[in-house]
Amino acid sequence: MNKLFLIGNLTRDPEMSETATGVAFCRLGIAVNRPYQGSDGERATDFFNVTVWRNHAENCGRYLKKGSKVAIVGSLQNRSYEDKDGNKRQVTDIIANEVEFLSVRNQGEGMDIEMAEPIRRNERPALEPVNEDDLPF
């Protein structure tokens, strides 16, 4: 199983792009605090690069900005490439399957988080409230 969960803050504004065939993708940088403190009393922070695809990418590009708090559900993907000097490089990327916006409000833009609905695959429909008068017992 290849699945990970991260909660952190964006380290930069989302970077939108498209493939040669027109598929939208977005690159995010996310900072995640470790759950423990070091001997100096400080929490270490890990920095990850995340790639989001298609409609999810467009929503991230539209609603997120540097400092936004997000929850990411995704998987790790290894790839290799040759740099400009001919050296072979190995890179591990995070491919996001779900991105949930956790920031309450983007100050200055007047956007409530309710406007930016969570980006989830296989999302369940919302249940309607039950009126107690309608119950048969």
What distance, in Å, lies between the first and last C-alpha atoms of the chain? 45
Q: Are 60 and 25 in contact (CB under 8 A)?
A: no
Q: What is the pTM of this model?
A: 0.71
Position 132 scores a pLDDT of 61
What is the percent of the chain with per-residue pLDDT over 70, rounded to a whole number? 76
Pairing of strands 24-37, 15-18: antiparallel
Which has the closest alpha carbon to 100: 125, 124, 121, 75?
121
Is pLDDT at 131 greater than 50 in this prediction?
Answer: yes
Q: Are 93 and 136 in contact (CB under 8 A)?
A: no
Tell me: the pLDDT tens digits for 68-109?
999 999 999 999 999 999 999 999 999 999 999 998 754 444
In order of their start, the domains of the chain are 4-121 (2.40.50.140)
